[in-house]
Amino acid sequence: MTHRHILLNKPYDVICQFSDAKGGRNTLADFVSVLDVYPVGRLDRDSEGLVLLTSDGWLQHRLSDPRYDHPKTYWAQVEGLPTEAALEHLRTGVQVWEDFKTRHASVRLLDTEPALPPRDPPIRYRAAIPTAWIEIVLTEGRNRQVRRMTAAVGFPTLRLIRAAIGQLKLGTLAPGESRELTPEEAAYITPLSSLARVPKMKRDVRRRSR
């Protein structure tokens, strides 16, 4: 069976599903007309960036389940200028719920603002409070985890972009734009779909990245 794989730059204020039970909200169907593809993990309505849509159910599971340690890269614009101590706290693990401490993560302060189109609507602007961009690479995820992590160390997230899923990158995709995988990207995806399943973790399986 030949599967379809689509990359989408999900805009702000779009729910990461193809239908809206509540009605009146923008969904993935407003941007992608390909049938029988489903998002790998989810992005919150107020988050933006890379979404992989696939018709391969096993690949969808393989890239979403934290048992497989598949990295996802996020760019977070935060309020304030993070200290090295705050960045190290994010790297080593943050207690974001009473029963949940984040795994070790790769975290760095970006030297320059990513080349991104302005958000519509724009983030709130405060002349007296600077902002900064940090890159966070996670291999796990719970609902709004990145936002909870940065808030826990004192630097709330103002804007959140998923920049990469493994070796699949957002690149120059404009908000709302989608495309098929390149041959190189397809070559990266194909082996992942055929990998064997791994035993279930003894600890609780964590929910998908948001």
Catalytic residue IDs: 44
The residue count for the chain: 210
Q: How far apart are CA 92 and CA 89, in angstroms?
A: 5
Q: How far is CA 132 from CA 4, 21, 135, 158, in A?
A: 37, 36, 10, 10
Per the CB < 8 A criterion, the answer to whether 140 and 71 are in contact is no
Burial of 3 (0-12, 13-18, 19+ CB in 10 A): middle
- In 10 A of CB 114, how many CB atoms? 12
- Within the chain, residue ranges assigned H as helices are 57-64, 84-92, 145-152, 183-194
DSSP code of residue 172: T
Per the CB < 8 A criterion, the answer to whether 174 and 9 are in contact is yes
Burial of 206 (0-12, 13-18, 19+ CB in 10 A): middle
